[in-house]
Structure 1
């Protein structure tokens, strides 16, 4: 009987230590009810249409023309380690009905621009979610 009692005491001591261990502690930011002011930032927008074609800043372009178009976006006189840079972010916006392969081809082509143009660093490529597109572009459309 003493052995069983001793084992129960050990069991409860060990399980109490498990329950005292907490998970991750983090602070959730307070909800900000103030209206957020959004400003347009100059960026290069690449849209993938449902037909699998590409519109770069509203103009139809083939994949092979992406590097030539972005060459005009190089900041004149700005060099990093002796190589030019493109400061503008590139936003890749595929249509929900666009073929997945067309979106991946555009992404791969944009990632290769660094080597094709001899840039100092990779392009800043952003692929917004559908929710971000609806919320952000809806709010910017009201500006």
Structure 2
């Protein structure tokens, strides 16, 4: 009787497949470049050792609403008239160069409306060749300014 040798089926060795997959995952994690979204850049002024004491009513208060309107010192404008920010703030800053400008955007307001106002202030800053004192209020400051406006 003749014994026939067992014929083995060819197969792909998968014992090291998990190791290879792990190494590929580690490789891709280490070589992937994550891009961070950059928002608007603000250059903060250096700390002033002798800050000027200004009253809150001395500031220019610009409030932006969700309805596409904004107010400058209680005078209402449509966002299409955003160029008036330049003229109004220019006239006020010519009198007092360190007059603070408060830009209070309602959380429901469109982002583009706030950017349009800030663009006008940036253009004015470039034309005047000096930095303007622009600030965005905290919720506590916002409540204080709104009480003062009433």
TM class, shorter-chain normalised? 0.5 to 0.7
- Measure how far apart 1:39 and its partner are: 4.7
- Measure how far apart 1:101 and its partner are: 1.6
- Measure how far apart 1:71 and its partner are: 2.4
Deviations 1:10-60 (A, max 9, x none): xxxxxxxxxxxxxxxxxxxxxxxxxxxx95340101110111221111112
* Of 64, 69, 76, the match for 2:83: 64
Whether 1:127 and 2:127 are equivalent positions in the alignment is no
Unaligned runs of 5+ in 1: 1-37, 77-84
Distance 2:134 2:99 in 1: 9
- Measure how far apart 1:114 and its partner are: 1.8
- Measure how far apart 1:73 and its partner are: 1.2
Distance 2:71 2:137 in 1: 16
> 1:122/1:133 Cα in 2 relative to 1: closer, same or farther (>3 Å)?
same
> 1:46/1:137 Cα in 2 relative to 1: closer, same or farther (>3 Å)?
closer
Distance 1:95 1:129 in 2: 12
Pair member with larger Rg: 2
Q: Tell me the secondary structure at the aligned position of residue 103 of structure 2.
A: strand
Whether 1:42 and 2:58 are equivalent positions in the alignment is yes
Contact persistence 1:75–1:87 (CA under 8 A): no
> 1:48/1:121 Cα in 2 relative to 1: closer, same or farther (>3 Å)?
same
Whether 1:91 and 2:107 are equivalent positions in the alignment is no
* Of 94, 100, 103, the match for 2:111: 100
Deviations 1:70-123 (A, max 9, x none): 2211345xxxxxxxx7321100011222112211221122111123xx314121
Unaligned runs of 5+ in 2: 1-53
Supply the RMSD in Å over aligned alpha carbons. Answer: 2.5
